A and B are shown apart, each in its own frame.
Chain A
Amino acid sequence: MSNRGPVATHRSSTGIPTGRLATWWVVASEIFIFGGLIACFVLFKLNGTPGFEDASKTSVAAGAFNTFVLLTSSLTIVLAHAAIESGERKKAFNYIWCTIGGGIVFLIVKTYEYSGKIISGDTITENLFWSFYYTMTGLHALHVIGGMVIMALISFDILKGYNFQRVELIGIYWHFVDLVWIFLFPLFYIANF
């Protein structure tokens, strides 16, 4: 590991490495952001707000496929972590790029869904359901894109031989992004009443 930075960074009073601890706090703060949006959505839905039956218009097949893709990419990032634990840098690099590939497939499907809906007139201003749909899946997609960019940066770092611990950290984040989707999928695709 690099010797740069202050002593503070390398201390560990809790026994948890600083990077991991901070990543969990990032995840905690994200939970409240997505939690706020999900709570708003659920409250409107339970209130019987008109328009929420439009959930039947979203394609369960596309959503299920995307769920499968994201879950698989979570597996590959775990494999990348396992590989870097045993020092196999090239293998970890490949697994990270498998994960990024999963993210790309996810976004392609998402783009296909968005464009189809916009063409058929279900835009963000159509009704509250679609407002929530685009806001929440859009915010989630931004998190996917951010995760992919960071992963790409990390992949080259580990090839050069430093910051191995960051594979675990991006893995924690990626699992969180995955988990958010696990909530969004039933809300927007399955619960069409």
Chain B
Amino acid sequence: MSQSATAIQTDTHAEHHEELSFLYKYILPVDHKMIAMQYMFTGLIMAVIGGFFSYVFRMQLAFPGESVPLYGIVGPGEYNMMVTNHGTIMIFWVAMPVLIAAFGNYLIPLMCGCDDMVFPRLNRLSYQIFLVSALVLIFSFFVKGGGFGGAWTAYPPLSTVPEYNLTDWGASLWILAVALEFVSFLLGGINFVTTAMNARAPGMKMMDIPIVVWFLVIAVILFMASVGPLIAGAVMLFMDQRIGTTFFLPSGGGDPLLWEHLFWFFGHPEVYVVLLPTMGIVAEIITVFSRKKLFGYRTILYTAFATGGLSFVVWAHHQFVAGIDPRMANVFVVTTLLISIPIAEMLFSYIATLYGGSIEFKTPMLWALSFLFAFLIGGVTGIYLGASALDVYFHDSYFVLAHFHYTFFPITIIGMFAAITYWFPKMFGRMMNETLSKIHFWGTFIPFNCIFLPLFFLGLAGQHRRIYNFSHYPDLATENLQDVRVFATTSLVIMLLFQGIFLYNFFYSMFKGEKAPDNPWKANTLEWTVPSPPQHGNFKKLPTVYRGAYEYSVPGRESDYWPQNMPPDKN
């Protein structure tokens, strides 16, 4: 088509891509799809590290003081370091890069019908900064004193005073790595928002944009608006550590509560920053596999706006026992309980989408449905914690920990597997093995519940978080409680072993799997109109959009889907 000097000015592009050298194709790419792969593989490698940490400290809790296979004896400092960095890695180096950066990069240009991000080189730069941040974090594990061990929330004065945290340079490198990661995501986020706002295909109106793109953009804007004060806070914390200022130290007139405010002003919107992309991914999957129009597109969108807005006024529910004014706590109880309304509305809309659909239990659909189930438990237990009267008892117990993992495991891990199994054919041009995928699904989902459901009960029994060895606490060292810990740890080991099946399936299918057609799931969105995997420049002819993304089973049409770019006069 490149020979014809045709038509719309924007279509005369990108057909003359010369073959790029290995260096520019894989190491320094500007192509959004390759950058997405870089983010995804970096995120998966970090997930292996974070998962290994969880294995080591869970083993220590189940079998205190015994040598952990593949690791050895776990010292108290090492335990703290692993707990801290498990949290940090899983949120900042797994959830963010895989859900937002990898799938944002991959999907936004393809779903909006353009050939790349609006700033391809800025995109490459944000990945490079991200990579440096990951390397700084890994480096921090090996400095004198080891990696930072003051919990991922880094409350001062523990995080500021080396005599308290015993990880002088580990703490500073940790804060540096996190700050670099924020910079990377701010740069990437500006690119995402601008692309989705400005580079959409002709005809794609606001209400034709697939939900996942909307949600990625809202997530990025939430991130941008919440992380600023924490970047300022990170600079202040770093200066407290290294220069000797006292922003957060009462000894010099500072206030440790200020850090908590800055941290949670970011920390709570961050939950929705990672939740929304997964919600979007799930919306795409359940419409495709129930062959039904998404129920209440606008409602879902507006609930996301409401969630985003409310998420900025709930942060102090993390600080009910931190010494804040009880009158202020009342306000935050109300806002916290309010935020469950838009989220529940969103879940109801998804369930209504399922109602009456012709549901097909392919692996992505199983992941999507299990997300709804697991996140519901996470959300409902959150209501207990949001009430300050109950939170005084639950605070910093395993109940909080179990609640947290019932939100973040579905968001991060289930969301990631849902997205990977759904878009794998597009990304690598081959199908994943369905049987192995299903075995992996059940082998992950059942043990996940077996790990975290018991932890609710341990929390109710009074088990406190961040304890290295419960045998030092006679009340908590009873046999029945220890049995529960062993059960949870065993489930974790089983779940981790099942990830081997995923890795085998992932890499085997990438090279040897059955060839994937362009549109294996018969979906409407634009990424399925291009070859699998898409070429550099994505579209042979840049598409024009005629309708929304969810026109499934439209009465009077022969096929039960209606691609967004199919002109209305054709069938």
Contacts and interface: CB of A to CB of B under 8 A. Distances in A.
Nearest to B536: A6
Given A8-B115, A13-B200, A37 B232 contact: yes
Contacts of B199: 7-9, 11, 13, 18
Given A6-B114, A8-B109, A9-B199, 8 more contacts: A6-B116, A9-B116, A28-B224, A30-B228, A36-B228, A40-B232, A40-B236, A127-B252
A26 interface: yes
Contacts of B239: 124, 131, 135
Interface in B180-201: 186, 189-191, 193-195, 197-200
Contacts of A21: 194, 197-198
B374 interface: no
Interface string A31-65: 11111110110011000011100000000000000
Contacts of B247: 40, 128, 131
Contacts of B114: 6-8, 11
A135 B239 CA distance: 9
B280 interface: no
Contacts of A30: 228
Given A7-B115, A22-B119, A51-B253, A12 B190 contact: no
A8 B116 contact: yes
A139 interface: yes
The B interface is mostly helix, strand or loop, or mixed, namely: helix
A32 B228 contact: yes
B407 interface: no
Given A5-B120, A135-B235, A128 B246 contact: yes
Contact of B229 (A8, A33, A127): A33
Contacts of A11: 10, 114, 118, 198-200
B80 to A, nearest CB: 28
Interface residues of A, number: 40
B285 interface: no
B372 to A, nearest CB: 32
Interface residues of B, number: 49
A22 B232 contact: no
A30 B225 CA distance: 9
A35 B118 CA distance: 28
A157 B198 CA distance: 25
Contact of B230 (A29, A31, A36, A51): A36
Contact of A6 (B115, B226, B230, B235): B115
Of A6, A10, A25, A33, most buried by chain B (CB within 10 Å of CB) is A6
Contacts of A125: 243-246, 252
Contacts of A9: 116, 118-120, 199
A119 interface: no
B193 to A, nearest CB: 6
Interface string B117-137: 111100000000000000000
A31 B228 contact: yes
B494 to A, nearest CB: 43
Contact of A22 (B118, B227, B230, B246): B118
A132 to B, nearest CB: 8
Contacts of B197: 13-14, 21
B78 to A, nearest CB: 33
Nearest to B232: A36
Interface in B147-198: 186, 189-191, 193-195, 197-198
Nearest to B120: A6
B449 to A, nearest CB: 38
B228 A124 contact: no
A35 B200 contact: no
Contacts of A14: 197-198
A16 interface: yes
Contacts of A40: 229, 232-233, 236, 247, 258, 262
Nearest to A25: B190
